[in-house]
Structure 1
C-alpha cells in the first residue's frame, strides 16, 4: 500500500507517530540532529519538534500579482490560528502569476505553479497546508498541486476588490474594461473618460469583483468543500477575511488530527456541485478547464459533456457582471455564498464532506438572503434553466467547444455566416482597425493558433474586439470562434476551447475565409459547411507552425506535454497523484 493510501493507524504503526513531520523531526542520530538544529536558527522552542502538527502556508503573494498583494499580511492571521491550535506554521512562496501582467498568458504558468507546490509539499516535513491564492490561475494551480500530494489541505482565497465607482455608478474589473475600451474605439467616449474610469476601477486590494474566473473559482471551491463556508465572497479589505484566515489556521490543525484529506472531499459529487454552482452563478468558462484538470489529478471521472448535461435544470440566479448587473461586494451583502447555497437547495449534493468535517448542507443550514435582486429566487431567475455553458460539437469541433450562453446575444445563438479567418491574433488586431476591412455584422470571426499548444498557453483572447468600422456603425456583438479562452469577466457570443486546436491539426486549421460556418446552440452544433473531400485535401496540405518561444525551458516542456482543453490543458505526466511518501534521507 502506498504512503498516499495509508490510514492514520497504519501511519502511526509505520512511523511511531501519526504525524508525517516526525519522519524528519523525530528521527534519531545525525538525521534528526540536522533537521532540528538548523531550524533552531528561526527561534523555535524545543517543543516545536515534539509531536506538534507542522503546517505549511503556501503563499502566492507577489508584487507582480496585484490581486494577491495582501496575502502576505493574511498569512500572519493564519499563523496565529495555527499557533493557537498547537501547530507550528511555516510560510513558503511559490511561483505566482497575475493575469493583468504575465505574457504571453498566465495560463502558461498554471501547471508550473502546481508542479512547484506539489514538489514543495512532498519534499518538506509538513503535515497539512493552507493555500493562499486569489488571482485566477493561482487558485486552480494550488488545488491541483495539493490534491496530487493529498495532505490535509484548506484553501483560503484572497477575496474580491470593493466595487469600482465611476460617476455615480458601479464599474467592474474586466467587464467594464472591455466596455470602456470598445466605446473609445467606437468614438463614443474620449481618452479623458477612459483615464478617469481606469483610476476608479481597482480601488482596493483583492481579485476581480465581477463573477470572473477568480470569483468563480473561489465560490465553487467553497461549494466543493475546500474552503470554510461563507468565506469565498468576503471582500479582501473586510476584517472578517482576516478572521477567516485565523479560523483557517485553527481548523487545519484539527484536519491533521482528523486525517481529513482532499481525497475524501473531492469526490464525483463534489465536482458536480462545482459544475452546477458555476452555472447558477453565471460563472466563467475557465472553470471548465480547471475542473477537468483537477478531476484528473484526483482520479474523478469528469468530462466536457458534464458541463452541459449537469446544468440543464440549473437557472442563473446571481445577477452579477458580466451576465448581470451587480458585483461581488453586493453579492456578499445580499447573503453571500451561504445564502446562495441555501437558495440552490437540492440542486447541490448536500451530503458531501467539506473541510469543516461536516456536510455541505450542515454548513449552510439556516442561511438567509437579504436582497433578492442580487441573489434571485428559483422562481425568478436572471436567466432560465439551461442558460449556462453549452458544449458544441460538429465537424469544426469533433471533441467539443464551449459557449457561455448567459453572456451571449440571444439573436446570435442560431447563426450562419461567412468565415473570416486569421492565423495569428496580432494579424487580427491589426486588421480590426482597418476601415477598409471587408466585414459585415453577419460574418463569423475566427482566430486560430491560440490554443494550449499553439500560442502557447491558451490566452484569454477569445472575446475578440469587434472591427472598428462595425463598432462605429453601432454593432455590439458578433459570433467569434477560436481555440483560445476568454476572461470570465468577458461577454459576447463567443465560441471557445475548440478541440482539437488548430496547432494540433484540428479542423479549425482547415477553415478558409469565405467558408460558411453554422452555429446552432440549441442543437449544440458547430458546423463547417465544406465537404469531406475538400477538407481531406486541405488536411493533406497542412503543416504545423513553429510555436513561438518553444525552443527551451518551461515553454518547451509545456508545448511537448500539454493536453487539449477537453482534458484540462494539464501536462500529460502530471495526471494522477504523487502522494506524500518521503524518500530516503541522503545523509
Structure 2
C-alpha cells in the first residue's frame, strides 16, 4: 500500500505546542517537567500509551513493565511517549460483570485520546474486555494505533496434570457437585491454577481477542499468543514503540487497516483457533464504531466450513504455551491461508497473508495439518427461528456432537437467582433430554449480559453421569467454558423477545446444521402469553449513574451491545478551545 505520509506541520500535537502565544506557552511549560528541550518540538510525534494496568485487574498487572519497553522503542524512533492510565476491567473481579463497563471504558479512552495532544497511541490490553474497549476507542478516534497484547500466563500443574485456567475451574467444580472429587481436593488446586503474570492460558476470550487483534491487522504479526513472562514479549513491545512512530509519519490509521475484509479475516481466524463466542459481540461493536456493515450473517458465512486447526482447551487438550512452542498463531493461521482475503494490510503496511507463508509447525499434536483438522467445521454458528428472530449463537467446537440436533422440553429459570435457588432441588422435573432455559441475562436485563450461559447441570443429573445438556439463554459464556450452550438470544427477554414467553414444558428443537432454534408454540399462542411476574421483577431498573445510562441506550447482542449514540466514528478533532 502506498503510504500517504505527513509533514511536520501535519502533526496533530502541533495544535497544542507550536507557536509563540499564551496557549502554546501554557501547553509546553506544564509538560516540560524533565523532558529534553526538544521533546515538544513540532518534529517529535507525541504518543500515548493507553495502559490498562491495574492491581485489581490481575491479568493486566504486568503491563506497567510492558509500557516501559514500549517507551524505550518510542524514544529510540524519535517520538515522545506518555503513559495514559485508562479504565481497566478485570473479568474475575468486578461485579456484576465486566461487560457492563466495556462501553464506558471505550468511551473514556476515546475521549482522552481526542482531548490530549497526541499523534498516535499504543494500546496495552490483556483481560477480556480491555482489548475490545481499546479497539473500539481507537476506531472511533482514528489516530494511528497499534495493539500490544499482554499475553497468556504460564501453565500451572496440579498432581502432575496441566491446568487450563478457567476451563478446569468449570470442570473441577462440576466434579465436586457430582461427587467425583471432594471440595478439599478442589480447593487444593487453587494455588496451582495461576502460575505467573498474564491472562488465561486457554483459548478463552483474552487469547481470542489477541488473535482477533492480529487477524484484524492491529498488532505486529506474530505477537499474539506470546506468553506474558517471555522476554520476547518485551522485545516485541519495544519494536511496537518503534513502529508507532513510523505509522504516524506514514499516516497509517485504523481506518486504513480495519476494513470489512479484515473483519472477515478475523472471523476465519476465530474459527481456526476455536476462539471464544465473545468475539462475536466485540467484533460487531468495533465494526459499528467504524460504520462498517458487519452482521451475524457474516459470522455464519465467513466461519462456515472453516476447520479447527489447534488442539487447545476448551475445544481440545493443550494450552496457549503449547501453541506458542508449536509455532504460534501465525503457524496455525497459515494452515488455512487460502481462506483469508489477501487485501487487508496490517500495522506494518503489508498484508496479513504475506506473514502466513513458510510458517513451520513443530508439533502436529497441537497444530493439526490442514488435511486432517481437529474438526472440519468449527465456525461459530448463527441460529434463527421463532425463539431467536434476530439470531443466537453456538460454538460447535465446544459442544457435544450428539446434542447439536436435539428436541426436548424446556426447564425455565426466570433469573440467575432463580436458577441458583432451584437447580439442585431433588424435586426439579428435569432429565438429560431437558433444555435448560435462562432469561433476564441480556445486555439490558441483568444488566451487562453476564457470563452465565454455561449454566451448571443439575446435581442429580451429574450424579447420574450426565456431563452436558442443551442450554439456552440471552447471556454470554466465558471463553474458557464449554458445552452445548446457545447464547446471545436476540431480542433478549427484557426487550420483549420470545425468550420471555417460554414456559416450562414447551418443546424446543435445536438444529445446528440447519441453523434453526424453534419453539413448538404458535405465534398466536405466544402473542397471548404475558411475561412471568418473576422475570419482570428481576429485570434491572437502575436509578442513577452509568448503569442507568447503559440500560437506556444499550443495543442488542446481534449488533454488538454498544450504546446507540456511540455508533460511527467521531474522529480526532477537538472543536472547542478552553484557554
- Pairing 1:525–2:516 present: yes
SS state at 2:202 partner:
coil
Query: Which residue of 474, 484, 490 corresponds with 1:493?
Result: 484
Task: Please give the residue correspondences for 1:450-469 in structure 2 after superposition, counting only pairs within 5 Å.
Answer: 450-469=441-460
SS state at 2:303 partner:
coil
CA distance in 1, matches of 2:231, 2:79: 24
Cα distance change of structure 1 residues 280 and 540 upon mapping to structure 2, 3 Å threshold: closer
Q: Is the 8 A contact 2:501 2:531 kept in 1?
A: no
Task: Please give the residue correspondences for 1:250-269 in structure 2 after superposition, counting only pairs within 5 Å.
Answer: 250-269=242-261
- Pairing 1:272–2:264 present: yes
Q: Is the 8 A contact 2:272 2:332 kept in 1?
A: no
CA distance in 1, matches of 2:483, 2:418: 21
Tell me the CA shift for residue 358 of structure 1: 1.3
Tell me the CA shift for residue 484 of structure 1: 0.2
Match of residue 464 from structure 2:
473
Q: Is the 8 A contact 1:31 1:585 kept in 2?
A: no
Query: Which residue of 408, 422, 425 corresponds with 1:431?
Result: 422
SS state at 1:295 partner:
helix
Query: Which residue of 356, 365, 376 corresponds with 2:357?
Result: 365
CA distance in 2, matches of 1:463, 1:88: 46
Task: Please give the residue correspondences for 1:202-281 in structure 2 after superposition, counting only pairs within 5 Å.
Answer: 202-281=194-273
Cα distance change of structure 1 residues 434 and 83 upon mapping to structure 2, 3 Å threshold: same
Match of residue 119 from structure 1:
111
Match of residue 390 from structure 1:
381
CA distance in 2, matches of 1:343, 1:399: 33
SS state at 1:154 partner:
strand
Q: Which moved more, 1:392-401 or 1:421-430?
A: 421-430
Tell me the CA shift for residue 347 of structure 1: 1.3
Cα distance change of structure 1 residues 351 and 532 upon mapping to structure 2, 3 Å threshold: closer
CA distance in 1, matches of 2:26, 2:563: 36
- Pairing 1:307–2:302 present: no
Q: Is the 8 A contact 2:223 2:233 kept in 1?
A: yes
CA distance in 2, matches of 1:122, 1:549: 32
Tell me the CA shift for residue 287 of structure 1: 0.5
Match of residue 110 from structure 1:
102
SS state at 1:455 partner:
coil
Match of residue 4 from structure 1:
none
For each residue in 1:506-549, what CA deviation from the matched residue of structure 2 results, as whole angstroms up to 9, or x when unmatched? 00000011111111111111111112221111149989556436
CA distance in 2, matches of 1:278, 1:198: 29
Tell me the CA shift for residue 437 of structure 1: 1.7
For each residue in 1:40-81, what CA deviation from the matched residue of structure 2 results, as whole angstroms up to 9, or x when unmatched? 2x2112201112000000001111100000001110000000
Tell me the CA shift for residue 338 of structure 1: 2.1
Match of residue 3 from structure 1:
none
Match of residue 167 from structure 2:
175
CA distance in 1, matches of 2:531, 2:270: 41
Gaps of 5+ in 2: none
Match of residue 23 from structure 2:
31
Cα distance change of structure 1 residues 535 and 426 upon mapping to structure 2, 3 Å threshold: same
SS state at 2:16 partner:
helix
Task: Please give the residue correspondences for 1:42-57 in structure 2 after superposition, counting only pairs within 5 Å.
Answer: 42-50=33-41, 51-57=43-49
Tell me the CA shift for residue 564 of structure 1: 0.2
Q: Is the 8 A contact 1:229 1:337 kept in 2?
A: no
Match of residue 288 from structure 1:
280
Q: Is the 8 A contact 2:62 2:198 kept in 1?
A: yes
SS state at 1:130 partner:
strand
CA distance in 2, matches of 1:172, 1:89: 36
CA distance in 2, matches of 1:211, 1:277: 12
Match of residue 507 from structure 2:
516
Task: Please give the residue correspondences for 1:7-22 in structure 2 after superposition, counting only pairs within 5 Å.
Answer: 17-22=9-14
Query: Which residue of 408, 433, 442 corresponds with 1:417?
Result: 408
SS state at 1:337 partner:
helix
Task: Please give the residue correspondences for 1:138-217 in structure 2 after superposition, counting only pairs within 5 Å.
Answer: 138-217=130-209
SS state at 2:488 partner:
strand
For these two proteins, the number of residue pairs brought into alignment is: 574
CA distance in 2, matches of 1:58, 1:531: 52
For each residue in 1:187-212, what CA deviation from the matched residue of structure 2 results, as whole angstroms up to 9, or x when unmatched? 11012211121111111000111000
Q: Is the 8 A contact 1:229 1:364 kept in 2?
A: no
Q: Is the 8 A contact 1:482 1:496 kept in 2?
A: yes
CA distance in 1, matches of 2:355, 2:67: 24
- Pairing 1:317–2:316 present: no
Tell me the CA shift for residue 310 of structure 1: 1.1
Match of residue 439 from structure 2:
448
